[in-house]
Structure formats: structure tokens, C-alpha cells
Structure 1
Amino acid sequence: MCVNSTEWSASRIHYFSGKKQKPKRSKVQVHRLAWRKRSEEKAAAGKNMELKNLKLYMENMSILEENEKLRKKANLLHQENLALYSEFEKKVSHLDRFPPLLI
């Protein structure tokens, strides 16, 4: 009942050949798939970056508009302040002409 090496080899080959193996892809296919995956990831990252850039641009424009409104409001308040100060000086200078009342 000894099995010689040729019989053993033949049965071993038969045993391993009976298993279903995944077909091996060629190196070119693997490289193409890897390249395609990387390029798709880069494209997705680029789109995400564009979207973030657009959001930041819109936020920046909103801030600039608000800044301009505040600048106009500050200018109006400054003009009003100057007018009130001028009226105050007129009243104070008018009071300086009269001597203080002695009670």
C-alpha cells in the first residue's frame, strides 16, 4: 500500500486543480483599476474643494456687504455727532457772554 511519488504527485495535482480559484488579473488590469480609482478620488476631492471654496466665497461676500452697511451707518452717526457737538458749542459760547448770577 505504498504510494510512490508519481502517484502522490498526480493525486495532489488533481486535488488542487479541483478547487475553484479566482482568475488572476493581469498586472496591466490591476494598474489600470488602481489608476482609475486614484483619479476618481482626486476628482471627488477636487469637487469637494470647489464646493468649500464656493461656500467660503459666498460667506466672504456676505461679510463684505455687512461691513459696507456698518461703514455707512458709522458715517451717519459721525455726522450726527458733529452736528450735535456744533449745537452744544453754540449754546455754551452763548452762555459764556453772560456773567454768572450771584444769589
Structure 2
Amino acid sequence: MAWTPSSHPISVSSKQRHRSKPTKLQIHMLSRKRYDEDVRKGMELLNLKLYLENRSIIEENDKLRKKDSLLHQENLALMSELQSKFPQLDRFATTLLLLLQKH
């Protein structure tokens, strides 16, 4: 077997050592990449949290709209009932009568 500089144990280990040691730039780039991934994951988590909160608000809003609609229909029915019982009263007087009955 012929001797070559690349087959010498010292030169091989120094090349391997040199190749495996990351530079400051490589370390910085890896750190930056990890930081960017952490920020992205954090933003995705925050986005999901805000999305779920938004969905909850929308659902609550829908429930309140339905309740409002039912109360409005009930109010119209009561107004109609009062106007049929007291045809001489105008709309303002009927509304006032309704408010006084509630208190």
C-alpha cells in the first residue's frame, strides 16, 4: 500500500475535524432558523386561538340575534293585543302602557 497525504491518520482527522466544526455564520443561521420556526409556530398558535375566539363570538352573536327576533315578535304580539283591547289608544299610549305594566 502506497503512502499518500490523504491516507495519513493525522491529516484525515484534521480534515474531518475541520468539516464537522460549524462556523459562527452556520451557528447563527441555525439559530435564526430555529427562532423563525418558533415565531411561526407561535403565530400559528395565536392565529388558531383568535380564530376559535372569533367563532365563539360569532356563535354568541347568532344566539343573541335569534333571541332579539323572538323578543321583537313577542313585543309586536303584545302591542297588537293591547291595541285590540284599547282601540282608542294610539301607538305611543300603548307603548307607555306596556312600559308601566312591566314595572
TM-score, normalized by the shorter chain, greater than 0.5: yes
Misfit runs of 4+, over 6 Å = none
2:50: which partner in 1? 56
Give 1:49 shift: 0.5
What are the Cα deviations for residues 69-91 of structure 1, in whole angstroms up to 9, with x where unaligned? 00000000000000000000011
Q: Distance in 2 between matches of 1:94 and 1:41?
A: 77
| Percent identity over paired residues | 51
Structural RMSD (CA): 1.6
Q: Distance in 2 between matches of 1:70 and 1:55?
A: 23
Give the TM-score of the pair, scaled to structure 2.
0.63
1:91 is aligned, of 48, 63, 85, to 85
Query: Is residue 80 from structure 1 mapped to residue 86 from structure 2 by the alignment?
Result: no
1:69: which partner in 2? 63
Query: Is residue 46 from structure 1 mapped to residue 40 from structure 2 by the alignment?
Result: yes
Any unmatched runs of 5+ in structure 2?
1-21, 90-103
1:35: which partner in 2? 29
Q: Which has the larger radius of gyration?
A: 1
Higher relative contact order (CA 8 A, sep 6+): 2
Q: Distance in 1 between matches of 2:32 and 2:88?
A: 83
Greater per-residue helix proportion = 2
Amino acid at match of 1:78: H
| Secondary structure, aligned partner of 1:93 | coil
What are the Cα deviations for residues 17-65 of structure 1, in whole angstroms up to 9, with x where unaligned? xxxxxxxxxxx71111110001100100110010000000000000000
